[in-house]
Amino acid sequence: MESTLIAKFQDHSAVIGVMGLGYVGLPLSLVFVEAGFKVLGFDIDAAKVQALNQGRSYIAHISPDKIGRAVSSGRFRSTTDFSLSAEADALIICVPTPLDRHREPDISYVTGTMDQLVPHIRAGQVVSLESTTYPGTTEEELRPRIESRGFEIGRNFFLVYSPEREDPANPHFHTRTIPKVCGGSTSACLQVGQALYGAVMDRVVPVSSTRVAELTKLLENIYRSVNIGLVNELKIVADRMDIDIHEVIRAAATKPFGFTPFYPGPGLGGHCIPIDPFYLTWKAREYGVHTRFIELAGEVNHQMPDFVVRKTQDALNDQGRAMKGAHILVLGVAYKKNVDDMRESPALEIIDQLLAKGADVAYSDPFIPSFPTLRRGQYALESVPLNPESLSRADAVVLVTDHDAFDYDLIARHGRLVVDTRGVLPMGDRVVKA
């Protein structure tokens, strides 16, 4: 059965099922379609399914033309009907793994998806989990559910973990060119996983187990979290010393060895870096380990929106203006430049705090025209145009997300007070670094 499934991947006759059509699942689906595979996309959001089947895109960096070509080829269709998963040879799970209100792992999307699949799985399929999670999830949560149907993992059913490595809007790397780590529950599972991803990825990196693959993804993001936490703390120190931390980083980056530049910001955003470290710290407690270093970096990063708001308030005070009643324009609410993704964006926390202090807040973001609610607030905001009028009207402009689409010369000319959290504007009387 293993050799039959591998052959299907090698000759591209296999049907690929992708569970979750978001920032990971949708580009992955398109890569398989472009390689000649038939792809079934599954999502619980009927509006997303309808949009895709009509050739429309809901992700800024994925063009409607690309979706339209995939649909018109006859090799891609989307559905909310999980019973159709029986038609697929590979079932790839790309669903969110957030934190709950206690900042502990919430893998209910993973287990819920698997529970929806279990009644329909059949012999000769492979399940691949791509969602970021703690070591042991694949073996402890997915494997028992599959075996409950009487399948034997590695003989008539196959199970792998292959972490997603998407970086939306990165012009240098995309799904196919990013090396794909893959670990299997058994050696036969690993062979199947390598065949699945080897059919569409430039390089597959095999590892000895699903647990190794799971921890690999956590290490990648914890590495970034810790180093960003370090440079964010240095930013606070440098600010007290009246030193431009960005100038320091540029100078340090000239060292040709032993230094990798990381850059400070208003806080961490996105689905991975603010969340993933807590998956490891939670699991480590099971083994009696307290991950103090990782948690400290998380605390530093979590406090950065507070620092930005304090800098804004101090800058207004220096101009004889109170925060209460001040008109503040926030530039960028996406979690990173050039994307339309607001997940865990520090801009949301900054806006919450500004409003709580009595400020009148507006925002401008070319990628996010509107959003109905924030994490705790029940208010609606819509993006305003970035022009001389909106800039000069604001008592303070807070640059949170450094989109390439922003006209920084315009901002520097017309902003009465600009709080720059990204270090993209030159120092000046009206520019405050935060």
> Catalytic site residues?
272
Q: In 3-state terms, what secondary structure has residue 310? A: helix
Q: Are strands 180-184 and 158-161 parallel, antiparallel or unpaired?
A: antiparallel
CB 21 within 8 A of CB 40: no
Residue 23 amino acid letter? Y
Q: How far apart are CA 421 and CA 429, in angstroms?
A: 16
**Residue corresponding to tokens 């909106």:** 390
Does an H or E element contain 363, and which?
strand 360-364
Angle, CA of 314, 319 and 325, to the nearest 5°: 75
**Residue corresponding to tokens 């400020």:** 359
Q: Which residues pair with 361 in a beta bridge?
A: 328
What's the burial of 299, exposed, middle or buried (CB within 10 Å: 0-12/13-18/19+)? Answer: exposed
Nearest to 115 by CA among 135, 98, 95, 88: 95
Which residues fall within 8 angstroms of residue 242, CB to CB, at 6 or more apart? none
Q: How far apart are CA 115 and CA 105, in angstroms?
A: 18
